[in-house]
Structure 1
Amino acid sequence: MKTTMMAAAVAALVAAPALAADACKDDGELVFAVVPAENAQGSIDRFTPTADYLTGQLGTKVTLRVASDYAAVIEGHKAGNIHIGWHGPGSFARAYQVTGGNVTPFAAINNNGAVGYYSVIYVKADSPYQSLADLKGKKFGLVDPNSTSGNFALRFFMDRDEKITPETYFSDVVFTGSHENAVIAVQQGTVDAAGNWWDNEEQSNLRQMEKKGMVKYDDFRIVWKSPLLAGSPLIYVNTLSEGCKTAIQDAFIHMTERSPETYAKFNDGKGQGFLPVKLEDYRESMAMIEYVDALRKKQ
C-alpha cells in the first residue's frame, strides 16, 4: 500500500473510551495464528507474549498456533477455528478469496507513518550475480505458494515488468517452506538466489536471522527489489461479535503503550506500533493474486 495512514484515524482510536475488559467473553476461546516466517520455536518465542497479552485484554483465553504453512492458516480461517491471524498481503487476499470474504484486515505495522514493505531477491555477496539478468538459467528459491514476498510479488513483477516466467527463466525453481529456509538455501548453495521480505537495512528477515546467530547480513546481497507492497495485515474472522472485533483492533493499536515488551517481541522493537487498515487498502493485493492465478492457467 503506497499510503500514509491518516492521523485522524489514529486520533479517533486513541480518543475512544476504554472498552469492556471482557468484550470477547461470549465468543469463547480464540486462536491467534501466524504464517511461517521462521522456525517453529522462533515463532513460539516471538508470539506467545502476544497471545498472553490478548488474553488479558479480551477477557477470554487466546491460544497461539504456529502453522506449518500459509495454507493451514487460511484453511483455519475458513473452518472458523483460527480467529486472528498475521498475514502477508497476498496470503490475506487468498484468505479473503477462500473464505468468501469472511476475513477483515484491521491493523499493520506503523513504519514512520507509512505501512508497507518490499520483496527482494538475495544472492551470496561473493557470487558473480549482480542483477536478475545474471540469474537466467540458475537455481531459484521461492518461499511458499501463498507468500507475498516469496512468491506472489516475485511472479507478478517479473511477468509485468520483465516478461519473465520463473519456471522457464531459471533452471530449477523450488519452494523452500519458510523465509528462513530460503536464506539457508542460498547460504548452502541449494539455490543461487531466493526471494524474501525486506523493510529497510535495519529490519528484514535477514537481520532477524543475524540476531539469532544463524547468518551474517553482509554475506548476502540484494540484486532485485520490488515496488512498495501493502503492509502485512493482522486480520480477524467476521463471525466474531462486533464488540470483540473492536476490542481486538483496540488491543493491537494500543499494544505499544499497554505492553511495550510484548510489541518489542512481536516486531523486534522496530516500527512505531500498529496503524489501523481496512479492506480497501488491499485491493491491489487482491488484483495481484488474480493476476498470478491467471498466469498459472496459461502455463
Structure 2
Amino acid sequence: MLDRRSFVVAAVAAATLAGTASAAFAEGWKDQYPELSLAVIPAENASTTTDRYGPLADYLSKELGVKVTLRVANDYAAVIEAQRAGNAQIAMYGPASYARAVMTGVELDPLVVPRHSNGMTGYFSVVYVRADSAYKTIEDLRGKTLALVDPNSTSGNNAPRFFLDRAGYSVDTFFGKSFFAGSHDNAVLALAQGTADAAANSWNSEDDSNLTRMITKGVLKDAAGNPMKKEDFRIVFKSDFLPEGPFSVLSALPEDLKAQIKQAFLDMPSKDPKGYAALSDGKDKEFVGIDRAAFDPIIEMVKFNDAARKS
C-alpha cells in the first residue's frame, strides 16, 4: 500500500506522463502535415494580393509551428480545384465560390469571417458607373457593356445576376455585352478606362470597398493615367446583404489541427494587429466563427443562376 509521500510522487508522475501524451497527440498532425498551403482568390492583382495575404501566411506559420505557403490562384476555380485535390488545406473564398465548392463535392469546414468596423459580417454587390457619364439608373444601361469579375465571384457575378433578374433585368439580355474581367480590380479598371460602361463589384460602406482600397493604393487610374477618386464613380444598383466569404479548411484535416487554425484566426487581431490590418487596410475589427448553414441562401442563389443559364 502506498504511503502519502509515495502516492503524491506517483500522482505527479502520472500527471506528467498524461501531459506529455496529450502534447504529443496535439502535435501529432505535424507528421502528416509538415507544411500547409493557404490558397486565396484573386480579388486584386497578384502582387497586391500577396501584399495583403502574405502577412497572414507568416502569422499562421508562427502560430501553427509549420510553414504555411501562400498560393495566389489565377482564378476562383483554381482555389476550388486546389482544395478538391488536397493541395490547399486552408483557403479564402467568396460566398459564391465557397457555395460552388460545396455544390461540386469539396468537403469543407468554414471557420471564420471578418467583422467590419461598422459591425457587419457581410457586404453588398453594387453596379458602378462613372460619375461623369449620363447613366443615372440601371435602366439607362440598357444595351450597354457591363464588366463582371469571375464566374464564381459573388459580388462580381452571382449576386448581380440574381438580384438584377429579381428586379426585372437579365444580365444576358438587358446589357448589350457583358464580360469577365478576371478580378475586382480589373472590373473597376475596365470602367475607369472606358472599356465598360458599368462594373459589378463589392461594397461594404462609403469608406470601405474594393474601389476605395484601389484608391488608397494609388492603382485606380483612367485611360490617360490620371489618378481617380471615389467621387468619380456612382452606384446605380445595390444588392441585398451578403455574408462575407469564409476562410475554410478541408473537412478531412485532423480535428486538433482545424481547432488550432481557427483559434489562430480568432487571435490574429490581438497577436498580429499589423498583419490583420493588412487584410482590409485596417477596416476590419475581428474574426468571428461561422458555420455551413450561413451559406445556404448563397447556395440557393448559385443554383438559381445555374438554372437560369440553362433555360
| TM beyond 0.5 | yes
Q: Which amino acid aligns with 2:47?
A: Q
Which residue of 1 is the match for residue 278 of structure 2?
Answer: 265
The 5-angstrom pairing of residues 145-184 of structure 1 reads 145-160=151-166, 162-184=167-189
SS at the partner of 2:218? coil
The 5-angstrom pairing of residues 189-208 of structure 1 reads 189-208=194-213
1:288 aligns with 2:301: yes
1:86 is displaced (CA, Å) by 1.1
Structure 1 residues 202-258: Cα deviation after superposition (integer angstroms, max 9, x where no partner): 111001100111222211111111010011211111121100100111001110011
Distance 1:136 1:120 in 2: 17
Give yes or no for contact 2:26–2:256 (8 Å, CA) kept in 1: no
Which residue of 2 is the match for residue 69 of structure 1?
Answer: 75
Give yes or no for contact 1:132–1:223 (8 Å, CA) kept in 2: yes
1:159 is displaced (CA, Å) by 1.4
SS at the partner of 1:110? strand
> How many residues align structurally?
278
Give yes or no for contact 1:21–1:57 (8 Å, CA) kept in 2: no
- Greater Rg over alpha carbons, structure: 2
SS at the partner of 1:239? coil
1:95 is displaced (CA, Å) by 1.0
SS at the partner of 1:80? coil
Specify which structure has the bigger relative contact order, considering alpha-carbon pairs within 8 angstroms and separated by 6 or more residues: 1
1:221 aligns with 2:234: yes
Distance 2:93 2:144 in 1: 30
1:137 aligns with 2:143: yes
Match of 2:54 among 37, 48, 71: 48
SS at the partner of 2:112? strand
1:21 is displaced (CA, Å) by 8.3
Q: Which amino acid aligns with 2:95?
A: P
Match of 2:247 among 231, 234, 252: 234
Aligned residues: CA RMSD: 1.5
Distance 1:171 1:110 in 2: 37
The 5-angstrom pairing of residues 88-103 of structure 1 reads 88-98=94-104, 100-103=105-108
Q: Could you tell me the percent identity over the aligned residues?
A: 48
| CA distance 1:136–1:23, change in 2 (3 Å) | farther
Match of 2:192 among 184, 187, 204: 187
Gaps of 5+ in 2: 1-22, 221-228
Structure 1 residues 45-72: Cα deviation after superposition (integer angstroms, max 9, x where no partner): 1111110100111121100000110000
Q: Which amino acid aligns with 2:45?
A: N
Give yes or no for contact 2:84–2:106 (8 Å, CA) kept in 1: no
Q: Which amino acid aligns with 2:185?
A: E
Give yes or no for contact 1:22–1:60 (8 Å, CA) kept in 2: no
1:101 is displaced (CA, Å) by 4.6
1:125 is displaced (CA, Å) by 0.8
Give yes or no for contact 1:23–1:58 (8 Å, CA) kept in 2: no
SS at the partner of 1:117? strand
Distance 2:80 2:70 in 1: 15
Gaps of 5+ in 1: 1-17
Q: Which amino acid aligns with 1:250?
A: Q
Which residue of 2 is the match for residue 82 of structure 1?
Answer: 88
Give yes or no for contact 1:23–1:244 (8 Å, CA) kept in 2: no
Give yes or no for contact 1:51–1:63 (8 Å, CA) kept in 2: yes
Distance 2:133 2:119 in 1: 36
SS at the partner of 2:122? coil
Q: Which amino acid aligns with 2:103?
A: Q
TM-score w.r.t. the length of structure 1 is: 0.90
Q: Which amino acid aligns with 2:255?
A: E
Distance 2:153 2:280 in 1: 18
Distance 1:90 1:282 in 2: 9
Which residue of 2 is the match for residue 276 of structure 1?
Answer: 289
Distance 1:219 1:272 in 2: 28
1:125 aligns with 2:138: no
1:114 is displaced (CA, Å) by 3.1
1:251 aligns with 2:264: yes
Give yes or no for contact 1:154–1:195 (8 Å, CA) kept in 2: yes
Q: Which amino acid aligns with 1:181?
A: N
